[in-house]
């Protein structure tokens, strides 16, 4: 297949910014120590394990001759671009990361970064969320980014406070029922 018919860009910079969760202007990229370590581990794995294996496959495939119909070569080059893109993304994010340890607030009843908050909406429905960094949230686990509307509404509120949240259906009143932080780990 001719390269003219493939939808690939040789410009890596065009694709770097795709998928980056937006940070509000002038703010830091807050992240928990566990989230930072997870991203750092992924970066090191890509650099030390994944990338060298793919480079080896691409080198072997390139030595086989005609590259235009060589699936191993074409897939390997594509995978290499994906790995390099992810390495650039992780490097940029880790460079601007501001590690914030939520255990420092253990026992506090005010909502800050890293808090697990149980709240009730105006219908009386209870929900529990954990406020984390934008690079580490897992919505299926009840985690929300600290820049999300719900987190911004809850930040600095205390147990028993009511806050207002703008939703697509209009204003909603939320009552903060409980605020928890992880306990500090004791050194061994």
Phi/psi class of residue 26: alpha, beta or left (left: φ > 0; alpha: ψ in -120 to 50)?
left
Supply the pLDDT for residue 110. Answer: 93
Instruction: Classify domain 27-99 by CATH number.
Output: 1.10.287.180
pLDDT tier at 62 (50, 70, 90 boundaries)?
Answer: confident
**What whole-number distance in Å separates Cα of residue 184 and Cα of residue 107?**
10
CATH 3.40.50.410 fits 102-180, yes or no: no
Burial class of residue 72 in the structure, from the number of CB atoms within 10 Å of its CB (0-12 exposed, 13-18 middle, 19+ buried): middle
Are the C-beta atoms of residues 116 and 130 closer than 8 Å to each other? yes
Supply the pLDDT for residue 120. Answer: 95
Digit-coded pLDDT (tens) for 18-61 = 455 566 666 778 999 999 999 999 999 999 999 999 999 888 88
Q: Residue with structure tokens 């990338």?
A: 51
Provide the whole-model pTM.
0.76
Cα angle: 143, vertex 145, 148; to 5 degrees: 115
Torsion of CA 100, 105, 111, 113, to 10 degrees: 10
Tokens of 96: 């601007």
99: Cβ–Cβ under 8 A, 6 or more apart, which residues? 31, 32, 33, 36
| Domain layout of the chain by residue ranges | 27-99, 102-180
């Amino acid at each position: 297949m001719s390269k003219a018919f493939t939808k690939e860009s040789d410009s890596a910079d065009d694709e770097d910014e795709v998928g980056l969760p937006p940070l509000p202007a002038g703010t830091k990229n807050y992240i928990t120590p566990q989230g930072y370590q997870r991203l750092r581990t992924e970066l090191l794995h890509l650099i030390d394990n994944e990338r060298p294996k793919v480079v080896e496959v691409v080198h072997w495939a390139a030595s086989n001759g005609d590259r235009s119909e060589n699936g191993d070569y074409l897939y390997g080059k594509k995978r290499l671009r994906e790995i390099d893109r992810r390495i650039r993304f992780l490097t940029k994010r880790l460079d601007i990361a501001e590690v914030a340890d939520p255990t420092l607030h253990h026992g506090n009843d005010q909502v800050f970064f890293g808090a697990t908050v149980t709240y009730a909406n105006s219908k009386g429905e209870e929900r529990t969320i954990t406020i984390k960094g934008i690079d580490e949230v897992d919505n299926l686990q009840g985690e929300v980014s600290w820049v999300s509307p719900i987190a911004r509404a809850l930040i600095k509120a205390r147990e028993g406070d009511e806050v207002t949240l703008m939703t697509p259906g209009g204003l909603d009143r939320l009552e903060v029922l409980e605020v928890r932080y992880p306990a500090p780990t004791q050194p061994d």
